[in-house]
Structure 1
Amino acid sequence: MPDRVGQQLGNYRLTSILGQGGFAEVYLGQHVYLGTQAAIKVLHTQLSSGDAERFHTEARTVAHLIHPHIVRVLEFGIDNSTPFLVVDYAPNGTLRKRYPSGTLLPLAAIVSYVRQAADALQYAHEQRIIHRDVKPENMLLGRRNELLLSDFGIALVAQSARYNSTQSMQELAGTIAYMAPEQIQAQAGPASDQYSLAIIVYEWLCGARPFQGSFAEVAVKHTLVSPPPLRERVPELSEAIEKVVLQALAKDPKQRFPDITAFATALEQAYHSEPVPEILQPRAPTQDEVPVSAETVLLADAVVAPVVAAVSDKLAPVTENLTDELSTRASADVAEEDGLETTPLPEAMALEKEVFVGNVEGKVASPEKETNELEVVAQPEKGSGKKGRTGVITRRKALFGLAGALGILGVGGAAWAIKSQVLSSPLATPLPINGSSVPVLVYRGHDAMVWSVAWSPDGKHIVSGSGDKTVQVWDARTGSPLYTYNGHTDSVYAVAWSPDSRRIASAGYDQTVQVWNAATGFYPYTYTGHSSWVWSLAWSHNGKRIASGSGDQTVQVWDATNGENAYVYRGSQGFIHSIAWSPDDSMIVSSDNREAQVWDPASGNKLDTYRPYAAAIWSVAWSPDGKRIASACDDKTVQVWDAIGGDHRYVYYGHSDFVYAVAWSPDGKRIASAGEDKTVQVWNATDGSNVITFRGHTNSIHSLAWSPDSKRLASASWDMTVQVWQIP
């Protein structure tokens, strides 16, 4: 094949050759305008006009696969009848290079890799795309050693082109050593990818693939011969692990797991249910294997060890289901690369309803059993004599249908206000700072779920909005109440301070935004431009305008003094979850249940759209320099991306459930996130490292607010509290 170094394909100039295979050459390329790097795969085939049309169709399909564990297709084209694909460059090579044939992997690493690969394949299967070529050579390692599945494009293009290669079509559509029986018979389906992944697991567990021999011999064995039992090769391996792998290797696709996610889940559960044999214990990683974010993995048998090679930042597969002993221990310091020192909490500080203790941990504790359903019991109206009713709703529907959900939860009733007399229990509990292992303050002034919290720009006060229909202003240091605003007739979902700390804007289910004096509540102005409940608010940094987002699917930008000059943005796909102004007020980012949109508040021109795969974005936050945006998603991730272009994406996987809130520290160094898993997690804004996890809330967390000096963080929860944390 000709050497193409120096040539330009699409927008990329080929700078060096990375490798060559039976059906493609892979080059390192540089974008001629942006200077960014990518890998360019030049296929060994010449396309006819009919093949070219099909290539474009299939390449477009693959280019729409946007997933954190799939190598993204950036561009594609045909140069003199030769097709090429431009994909993200993964600098850390393949898993085959990292683990040569015969290598036994730690079981923790296997479980993590399988979860990442299964997430990617499940997503592709839901898009009706089968990979057909799952093998270690097509599993790459990203910049932070996360798994990236590659060559979806090759798998599809193989069906549309006549390759100029000595390899057979069977090899092109999937290496025979990993190929499912039905795929050998040209009847590949989603279960074929599950079979291939199970072959990889088998190989990693015992150091050899189940079937050896020539091409024809291996093909026959896949079709007719049962794989040798794993425990014959690794006697220490548990029966549970072996059973899972052999089920995924069933000859009949119908006898395998229902989908590839079920396979990954079963493997993970089997891993946690049995002691890990010594041969599959984690080893000390080499220097090039430690991820940039060197967090600590806690194994189910209470072993505390550094992250093993290439274990993703999505640590849930490794760190869930800790022993009771581990889940009750608290860390005195943030986890370091060489281990985690822990100190048991005194018995008197056990987490109870009236004792507010938050733990700073460098680990992920055992989450409660996950469910996507909430059982809610309707409380009878006062004096109505009616009985409550019970129903089951999904969590997303519970949040989308706030009118019904809040009615069921019974947050309606007489307005509550802080009484002037001495209360039987304090509204706030200031707690002594013991290192950073407990919250500085727990505010308990609300008697319903707290939806929103904001810190005054002068750093002196905090405001919180609740389902009890009140907005409460209180001292950020002591929790002493300053003023309670009772102007709303229903739940308050959003609060925001003016930049001069003199006024507060609040919004809620009563379809209004109310602007009032922060100290006295005087001179309120009520904005009534929305036709549905108002979920989100943001005050411009120059103090002149307010943006409000609603269930009517609009964002409205209006004069903060009198509500005039309103501009209505109608580009969203659903109700508005979150709004944020850029630091220079030239742009707004708003999110809904499908995507985040960046647009010009003066003209309404859409500047960019960021769409995560199959996830709603519940919260967005700008970096202080205005270059990046962080988004909290209900797929358990926080995604950080360039404000314009959506490039240079980083995905944080520390949470074990929906993420509802994200906030960027004013100094730009850290990001805080929180959600359904009841934790607040603070991490390096660049690479997700140095994770600090605060625990203390007993229900989901829906809002976060940094102090102006970036030293403290407030979190608002459905447990009816606001907790303030000292950041180490």
Structure 2
Amino acid sequence: MAGWPGRRLGNYELVQLVGRGGFAEVYLGRHVYLGTVAAVKLIRGSLERWEEVEQFKREAQLIAELRHPHIVRLLEFGFEEGRPFLVLDYAPGGTLRQRHPRGTWVELGQVVAYVKQVAEALQYAHERKVVHRDVKPENMLVGEQGEVLLGDFGVALLVQSTRGTTREELVGTVPYLAPEQVEGRVGPKSDQYALGVCVYEWLSGEPPFRGSWKEVLAQKVGREPPGLRERGVEVGEELEEVVRKALAREPEQRYGTVKEWAEALEEAVRREEKRRVIAMVEQTEPVGPGVPSMGGRKIARRWLLAGVSLPLVGGLSWLAWRSWSEQESFSPGQTLLTYREHSGWVNAVAWAPDGKRLASGSADGTVRVWEADTGKQLLTYQEHSGIVLSVAWAPDGRRLASGGEDGTVQVWEADTGKQLLTYQEHSEWVNAVAWAPDGKRLASGSTDETVQVWEADTGKQLLTYQEHSDIVWSVAWALDGRRLASGSDDETVQVWEADTGKQLLTYEGHSNGVWSVAWAPDGKRLASGGEDGTVQVWEADTGKRLLTYRGHSDVVTAVAWAPDGKRLASGSRDGTVQVWSAP
């Protein structure tokens, strides 16, 4: 509603509309006395009878009592012109649906991490007799530190007290509804089923049942869902059975609690990845006590067992290496893989959101997309008219943006190389480009000593940052979408507010120009590399240095974190991309 921004609901002034769903509008609100921000959800429909108002109050009071690290807190509630509203913690990282759009798959280790956090929230609520009723990726938000927060607790029930469910709401929720909910029954195991659907979708790219919402409802009630392997997902029998049990048609056939299911899922993944490691080891032969050879994929068994010098081969996830021995881990700065397909300096490297692909830009004028585990090349982009200096993946994993010597930023499709937009507002080379977490904005740094923030779809310029005194080589967004870090030939990394350009911190640990900077997924660490040939990892709030990596023999031109926050990839003028363990 256009008339709501600027109005006051409770102690919050509505600043702007940030989202709209089938049953509510969501506004960014600011506390009129404290100045803190929150999400204000204004529910459509009104409460006219005293009984309805009292029911809403009871439910809201129950939800407000939920205090858990992975639950979005209800701060306040009330009524405005008969319409209920809720004031909730603001989660700046968006939703898991935005991070993983429909039709995309998620790395197995990341799935386990998501499930552990959501299951903890649900178990906490279930122990307090609260059922969520609407678990789905749209209701899983990302907090300031990258943590998952389960939102809209009980909102489905609150909405029912204001009016009936609309077709729009039904279509969005049906894939995750448990069969018993279709029949009007609900309980803690209904939430387990819904989370199971999320896992099925993350692993296969789609929910278990296909068709119109009416057809999906009929299938849910009438039969068991197809197995993951029927959909072509490469999982073992144990893991498939764990997912299948959570999706059992009858609640009694599911796990006793959502906590039990989450633990069973993690254990199944651990066992499966361990079997893959053993199978891979049995197919190799020792190559001596040195670093394992990538040629012929020969790996010394004793190095695997010791947890030393393990390269990224065989498509194994972070969880595989962690589960091999809970007591052992990679040493910080340990090299895991070297990619050598470029014919010129490597100036840029970026991980895809799925953690399985990398894109690297080079002085050879190309951007190459390749598999992170094996180095296999998938695509070569050749539309720039000169050296490629910067590369960045969009959060949806479907688009890439690259900048270069030709003074442009080009936005293109990752799978096909089709060009979507060309940004031409810089007056010199574009040395750096970075997507905002919301996928709607880009920031680009240039030899013209500026960083420009602009809209990804239209190229409209939003802000120009001009605090550096020399060439800007690198730009990176924090996960919260509020901060940017930029590295420059002035030998500094500057951390600043994305909306206002206000400077927050200046890091001066390098002895020469800073060519690359990247935020860790947790938002607490930054990594920067430059002409001194090092990569330095440091605390974002204080500038305290945590590690100096010295594996390169020339200028470090690019650095990127893996989505798990445990690995880094760095590119250099020595012609290599090195993947190594983070502190």
- Please report the TM-score for the alignment, with normalisation by the length of structure 1: 0.40
- Please report the TM-score for the alignment, with normalisation by the length of structure 2: 0.50
